[in-house]
Amino acid sequence: MPVNLSQIAINEATITLTGGSLGDGSLTITFYPGRITEETVAMPQAFANTSAEAFKQNFADFNAMLVGLIKSWDLLEDDGSVFPLDAVRFGKLPIAFRMQVYQGIMENISPEAVAASTPS
């Protein structure tokens, strides 16, 4: 049976991050590995040797990319509500935290992780 691109893009994976900018806490993220492309993987390289204006735009693009990958998460606001998956609001989150989220997702789709999750 043929498959189309939108079917690939709705596949989900879940990771739990600990340590780093999370301190003693943990963060569970459900994301769409089928939305990860060469552009997604190369995104951090866009920050090298850019002007201040381009740097800001690169972060806006980075935030939008993360929002597009994440289906849900359990990051909470101080009032107990879930922090929204909104690219503009992501700009209020610490850079180290956003990079930890990105890195956790990228590590999950590494060839080694894919091989480990593929039935033999």
Closest listed residue to residue 15, CA positions, set 90, 76, 105, 82: 105
| pLDDT at residue 41, as a whole number | 82
Q: What is the pLDDT of residue 60?
A: 93
Distance (Å, rounded) from C-alpha 69 to C-alpha 35? 6
Task: Encode the chain (120 residues) as per-residue pLDDT tens digits.
Answer: 777 777 777 788 899 999 998 999 999 999 988 888 888 888 787 777 778 888 888 899 999 999 999 999 999 999 999 999 999 999 999 999 999 999 999 998 866 554 444 444
pLDDT at 117: 45
pLDDT at 112: 55
Quote the pLDDT of residue 111: 61
Domains of the chain as residue ranges with CATH = 5-110 (3.30.2220)
DSSP 8-state secondary structure symbol assigned to residue 82: B
Give residue 73's pLDDT: 97
- pTM (two decimals): 0.77
| Calpha distance 59→55 (Å, rounded) | 6
